[in-house]
Structure 1
Amino acid sequence: MSRLAYYDNPAILRTRSVTPMSGGGGEMSKILPYVTDKTISRHLGFTGRSLDLGHARSYYNPARNAVYSRYTTQDWGHSNSMNYSLSEKERSFAERLRADAWRAVKETDARTRNRQNDITKKLGERVYDIAFWKSELNNEVNAMATEIENLKEYRRTLEKALGDTANPLHIAEECLMHREKRQGIDLVHDDVEKSLIKEVDIIKRCQARMKKVLDKAHVQLKMDRAAQHTLEIDAKDKHHAQGLDDRMQQLRNKSAGIGYHPGIESIDNTITIPDSWARFTQENIARSQRERAASERLRGEIDSCLRACANDMWNHFNSVNNSFNTRIRETTDARNKLQSHLQRTMQEIFDMENNINLLRKAIQDKEMPMKVAQTRLDERTRRINVELCNDPVMKSLQREVNEIRDSVRILKERLKASELSLARLMKTKATLEHDISVKDNSLKTDSQYCMGMRKGFPMDPKVGPVFQMPIC
């Protein structure tokens, strides 16, 4: 493309920066139009006069023996005058044209330079605006990245706490299962069983609450990552635009890589205006700030949930332990009392056995006196005649036999009552021994099996954050 071919395109209007050309006659001859018609008649049209200078007359030239056309002297003088006048007019017009051209050169050069400087300044302002918003985006991206890491850490803590609740739940359920091994009268719906059932319910409610908050954390992390991704895309676009505009700001007339791009000024591929451009970034930052605030509130909710669950579980854990200790003391006291009664019952059995032996011996001891009395009576029945007298001896022997018989009857009644009492004492002894064995079984279940598991928990430092974190 030649130097002026770009300006010959009627569909494109561009200005070209020029500088004064001193001594540039050759250059100007390349720019100004070249006059090919040098006849006077073509230039007299400016004066409005006739283009015809006159008619040449024919004269015979004897030297050549030919007829030639010749002008008159008056025509010759008139032609010279016209040339003088035309020269003055053309010089005057050329001077005005040169002055106008020089003025146009200066004006267009100044306008082009000012426009270029103004655009360079605006590019600098644009680069500053882009750098400002990119800095805001990067700060928000870093803040969001920190918040995401904090929320992930809280989520991991909550997940571990949720997993750690399985152990106390298992222990509470195991305690309930072990207490089903109680026997007889000890199968009571006591405070320990009520507390264990309540503990299982509290742990399950805490687990449900943790799962609900954990679901919220998963959703919030997705929202945070989406906001962060939007910020990163916007910051990446800002970085690209900043680099491009910064390079354009540094571009000068003598820079490498510049060139003509015909028709580029008529292409408009923009999709935003400065207000919508700034508002887009502001909305992205505002969205990120809202999500970050929601994430911070959720972290507070997670902390509150952990503390509340730890408080509830820890307090009820201690309450169940206190109920166990109270029940163990009550059972121990009952067993000790039963053992005391058993000792006294066994002593009473021993005494009753001695009493029975004594009664039996007493009954046995009445046999010989009865035999003596009855033998005496029997022998005295062999008296004859008048000697069969109902004398005082006879009456005394009869009373003695009756007394011995009454004594034996009384002793047998006492013996029977003693034997019945001994049987009841033996039954009572068996009942006491069975009840003591029941109490021993209950004590073994509560103190060894249940409290054996509960005493080692949560004292173990590997239990987890639910019982390790401070409670208020």
Structure 2
Amino acid sequence: MELVGSSLTATYAHPKPTPTSFLPAIGTLASTYRDRFPHNNLTHSLSLPWRPSTYYKVVSNTPTLDPYCTRAQRVCESTMLPFVSNRTTLFTRYTPDDWYRSNLTNYQESNTSRHNSERLRVDTSRLIQDKYQEIRKTQANSTQNLGQRVNDIEFWKSEITHELDEMIGETNALTDVKKRLERALMETEAPLQVARECLFHREKRMGIDLVHDEAEIELLTEVDNILCCQERMRRHLDKAIAQLASNRAAQHELEKDLSDKQAALRIDDKCHHLRNTSEGVSFFRGVERVDATVSVPESWAKFTDDNLLCSQSERAASAKLRDDIENLLVVTANEMWNQFNKVNLALTNRVAETADTKNKIYVHLSKTLQEIFQTETTIESIKKAIKEKSAFLKVAQTRLDERTRRPNIELCRDMAQLRLVNEVYEVDDAIQILQQRLRDAEDSLQSLVHTKALLEHDLAVKANTLYIDQEKCMSMRKSFPNTLRLVGFC
């Protein structure tokens, strides 16, 4: 009988059969054992009878007597009585020599079978021990390999866990910086709106004050600066969103690999602690022919190492982007604050300049009003002087008119006549000069009135400009966010 899972190697396991016509050969017997008791039914075959039917031949109940029977006997063979004993027959089937030879053959066959069986038992016992030690050593090697595999999995699992913690921390840090960037981007809307409102209100200046001054240049620069800062913030915000997606993808791969390694560690650890006496051990026929593996140790380690390298690369890129965003927030805050201060300084200077101009206009207006008053007084004086000179002219002309009525020779061009004529001319010239001076004074008064109107208009323009720059623009610019808000902390 063969051992399960092994083959007999001894030469005496298949002895050469002894030729005989009575009993089967040993080889036939061994093959009969193999046919009747397969190795997988070994435990059941022990309960069956030991002697198989192969050792026994079926003897006919009506043996023939050839070649010793006569023809008469063969003729009456069908009419013979039933067989009772050899002593009742006339002839025997074998001779004594045949009988002794058969016994010797059986003895020899028995000795040979027992000897072969004994040697087979000894060799089988040794084979069982050898196979037991070999299988036990193989199982120990398998257990050792499983233990090494468990250590490898635990090592990579610890590496993945460490990298996963680092990646989660980096993702959270980048998320916080992204939120700060979003808040900072939202905070820039208020300064941009203020700058645009200032430009809009300054468009309401009147007349000559609609000048492209330093304040307006700085306001336009502030608008461009804020828009540029917003554009840079949006670009970095898009980069942060893309980097967060890459971080989450790498984190997902690490989590998936970690989950697979945890499952593999649980299975391999269970296999490592399995023993022959463990529960749940059973036969799984043909499982050794199933090859469901998809990797080798090199590709298995490379897969995890690639995941770690990818995660480390994404983490380094995320840290660099985080530093860039931090620097961007500081730079943009400083740029906007510097430009804000420049605009405020320009507006303050412009307000001071406008206020100084307004004060000067007040001085000139007051002087103009005073001059207008004096000019009006002068005009009144001139008119009064003209009126007074008219009385002298009337007297002189009346005298001349009266003297024209002197009779005859009395119409003399005497000194009185000449003096009166000269007086008329002198008075008339004086009146003409005074009238000219009156017209000049009136023209000067008109000019002063026009200047007064211009000064008053310019004063109103300056007052409007001061109201726009000082009351509206400067008051709105008091709501400019502080540095902490511009970097996204509040």
TM-score bracket for the superposition, by shorter chain length: 0.7 to 0.9
Tell me which residue corresponds to 1:225.
248
Match of 2:441 among 399, 402, 418: 418
AA aligned to 1:152 is: T
Tell me which residue corresponds to 1:351.
374
Cα distance in 2 between the residues matched to 1:31 and 1:275: 55
Aligned pairs for 1:372-451 within 5 A: 372-451=395-474
Gaps of 5+ in 1: 17-25, 40-56
Tell me which residue corresponds to 1:306.
329
Tell me which residue corresponds to 1:260.
283
Equivalent residue of 1:224, what SS? helix
Q: CA deviation at 1:79?
A: 6.3
How many residues are aligned here? Answer: 433
Aligned 8 A contact 2:187 2:481 in 1: no
Tell me which residue corresponds to 1:100.
123
Cα distance in 2 between the residues matched to 1:29 and 1:72: 39
Aligned 8 A contact 1:192 1:324 in 2: yes
For normalisation by structure 1, the TM-score amounts to 0.82
Aligned 8 A contact 1:151 1:217 in 2: yes
Q: CA deviation at 1:466?
A: 1.3
Cα distance in 2 between the residues matched to 1:373 and 1:236: 134
Q: CA deviation at 1:391?
A: 2.9
Q: CA deviation at 1:142?
A: 1.6
AA aligned to 1:465 is: R
Tell me which residue corresponds to 1:52.
none
Cα distance in 1 between the residues matched to 2:97 and 2:489: 127
Aligned 8 A contact 2:180 2:489 in 1: no
Task: List per-residue Cα deviations over 1:128-184 (Å, max 9, x = no partner).
Answer: 111111121122222211111111111111111111111111111111111111111
Q: CA deviation at 1:70?
A: 8.8
Task: List per-residue Cα deviations over 1:23-75 (Å, max 9, x = no partner).
Answer: xxx99977998676669xxxxxxxxxxxxxxxxx99xxxx9665464977777
Aligned 8 A contact 2:330 2:487 in 1: no
Tell me which residue corresponds to 1:329.
352
Q: CA RMSD in A?
A: 3.4
Q: Against the structure 1 CA distance between its residues 244 and 422, is the aligned structure 2 distance closer, same or farther, given a 3 Å change threshold?
A: same
AA aligned to 2:485 is: P
Tell me which residue corresponds to 2:210.
187
Aligned pairs for 1:238-253 within 5 A: 238-253=261-276
Q: Percent identity?
A: 45
Cα distance in 1 between the residues matched to 2:165 and 2:115: 73
Tell me which residue corresponds to 2:364.
341
Aligned 8 A contact 2:180 2:487 in 1: no
Equivalent residue of 1:219, what SS? helix
AA aligned to 1:290 is: S
Match of 1:115 among 138, 144, 152: 138
Cα distance in 2 between the residues matched to 1:324 and 1:37: 127
Task: List per-residue Cα deviations over 1:237-290 (Å, max 9, x = no partner).
Answer: 111111011011111011111111111111111111111111111111111111
- 1:465 maps onto 2:488 in alignment: no
Task: List per-residue Cα deviations over 1:296-344 (Å, max 9, x = no partner).
Answer: 1221222222222212221111111111111111111111111111111
Aligned 8 A contact 2:329 2:487 in 1: no
Cα distance in 2 between the residues matched to 1:312 and 1:147: 28
Q: CA deviation at 1:364?
A: 1.2
Stretch of structure 1 that moved more, 390-399 or 100-109: 390-399
Equivalent residue of 1:289, what SS? helix
Cα distance in 2 between the residues matched to 1:155 and 1:140: 22
Tell me which residue corresponds to 1:161.
184
Match of 1:130 among 149, 153, 175: 153
Cα distance in 1 between the residues matched to 2:97 and 2:408: 240
Stretch of structure 1 that moved more, 350-359 or 363-372: 363-372
Cα distance in 2 between the residues matched to 1:76 and 1:64: 17
Match of 2:392 among 362, 369, 384: 369
Q: Against the structure 1 CA distance between its residues 245 and 372, is the aligned structure 2 distance closer, same or farther, given a 3 Å change threshold?
A: same
Tell me which residue corresponds to 1:20.
none
Q: Against the structure 1 CA distance between its residues 382 and 76, is the aligned structure 2 distance closer, same or farther, given a 3 Å change threshold?
A: closer
Aligned 8 A contact 1:307 1:469 in 2: no
Tell me which residue corresponds to 1:51.
none
For normalisation by structure 2, the TM-score amounts to 0.80
Aligned pairs for 1:136-147 within 5 A: 136-147=159-170
Q: Against the structure 1 CA distance between its residues 87 and 469, is the aligned structure 2 distance closer, same or farther, given a 3 Å change threshold?
A: closer
Equivalent residue of 2:159, what SS? helix
Cα distance in 1 between the residues matched to 2:481 and 2:470: 17
